[in-house]
Amino acid sequence: MNRRDRMSLSTENLVVRYGNVTALAGITLRLEPGEMFFLLGPSGCGKSTLLRSVAGFVEEFDGEIAFAGDSLKGVPAHRRDFGMVFQNYALFPHLTVAGNVAFGLEARGAAAGDVRARVGEALGLVGLSGYEARRPGELSGGQQQRVALARALVIKPRLLLLDEPLSNLDAKLRWDMRGEIKRIHAATGITTLYVTHDQKEALSMADRMAILRDGKLEALGPPRELYLNPPTAFAAAFLGDVNELEGTLAARPSNGSPGRVRTALGEVRLSAQPSWPEGLKEGAAVRVFCRPESLWLGEAGAAPPAGHAALEQPARVASSAFLGTNTLYELALQGGAAWRCLRHEDGGAGLPDGANVTLAIRDEAWRMLA
């Protein structure tokens, strides 16, 4: 067994069924030691089932779950030495903050002096020193979340499991807690498996992430890579808005030149994607997309900036939503296509609804959809 195996969590062809429903249909994953790994996907995709299986709360499964090279099949949850933070925090309302954090240590028979020292260390780590005597009902949602984190960390777990831990917080607290969790992860170096349905949460925090769909692994990789070069149409649309076009392949990339696709809105240049479908030849029907932030929007007839290519067909502002530093424009294109453009607003009133506009796309922002 090599060092990596001794420190890794892995699943091999993991299958979980609830009666006639297959919740997980053959998931194979390996977490790198010390990484922050996210499970992302829509409701019912199987991400929480996967987390609960790793935690030991799902006892019946096919395939394999292993940690440190050892099978976890038949190992009860309390013997896995994993820390878990639940969506609803699951704090004991009758216990103080210190009592909640100490619970796992006391259940393991730790000495009283050791319990006090480790509780103090854990509360210091999450920024709650001095809160030992308070009860959960006296704390804000963010503070309760920190107590739940401290309780999971105080046992010095081999693996930290987080089940949508920020879903009950308001937007400002969610943002703050993202930073706190990243700071704590960096300080502890604990391998972390984190479940969420929030794309921004995953994109901003994960070292790597897996997108699940209907109990199957849809995509796997670092956030930036999956966002810029998604392997499937589902992954592309799930991670953010896409503006799609159908067309025919005019030229594959070669000798450093980008690929080109002929569309009803003109010819577009493709980025140099990591891989291309086998056997894809010139003239083949393809779908391409770009992200809303890669579009440039100007008044009708305006010249786009360098590094952008204007579409040959006109566009019109159907509606807009002011978001502060940006405005999200809904655009109507020729033929009924509806696109979105995220435009940075540097003062001014923006573009009015109904306005005819020039639309340009940043060079090599186009990607092919599988």
Angle between helices 171-188 and 141-153 (to 10 degrees): 20
Partners of 66 in beta bridges: 10, 71
pLDDT at 129 over 60: yes
Position with higher pLDDT, 216 vs 254:
216
Banded pLDDT at 124 (limits 50, 70, 90): very high
Banded pLDDT at 141 (limits 50, 70, 90): confident
pLDDT at 252 over 90: no
Write out pLDDT tens, residues 157-211.
999 999 998 888 888 888 888 998 999 999 999 999 999 999 999 999 999 999 9
Write out pLDDT tens, residues 207-238.
999 999 999 999 999 999 999 989 899 999 99
Per-residue pLDDT, 41: 94
pLDDT at 115 over 60: yes
If DSSP codes are grouped into helix, strand and coil, which group holds residue 185? helix
Q: One-letter amino acid identity for 180? A: E
Angstrom CA distances, 229 to 128, 212, 339, stand at 41, 17, 19
**Cβ-based neighbours of 338, under 8 Å, separated by 6 or more:** 318, 330, 331, 332
Write out pLDDT tens, residues 304-349.
999 898 887 889 999 999 988 899 999 999 878 899 999 988 777 7
pTM beyond 0.85: yes
Check if 3-235 and 241-369 are the same fold: no
Per-residue pLDDT, 7: 65
**Cβ-based neighbours of 96, under 8 Å, separated by 6 or more:** 132, 133, 134, 135
Banded pLDDT at 21 (limits 50, 70, 90): very high
Angle between helices 141-153 and 97-107 (to 10 degrees): 20
H-type alpha helices, the chain = 3-7, 47-55, 97-107, 112-125, 141-153, 171-188, 199-205, 223-228, 233-239
Per-residue pLDDT, 5: 43
pLDDT at 274 over 80: no
CB 263 within 8 A of CB 368: no
pLDDT at 256 over 80: no
Per-residue pLDDT, 1: 35
Partners of 201 in beta bridges: none
CATH number for region 241-369: 2.40.50.140
Domain residue extents for the chain: 3-235, 241-369
Banded pLDDT at 370 (limits 50, 70, 90): low
CB 92 within 8 A of CB 104: no
Among 191, 286, 190, 294, residue whose Cα is nearest residue 242: 294
Q: Is the dihedral of CA 330, 334, 337, 339 positive or negative?
A: negative
Supply the mean pLDDT for the chain: 90
Per-residue pLDDT, 283: 87
Per-residue pLDDT, 81: 92
If DSSP codes are grouped into helix, strand and coil, which group holds residue 299? strand
**Cβ-based neighbours of 156, under 8 Å, separated by 6 or more:** 118
The pLDDT of 89-116, averaged and rounded, is 90
According to CATH, the topology of domain 3-235 is Rossmann fold (3.40.50)
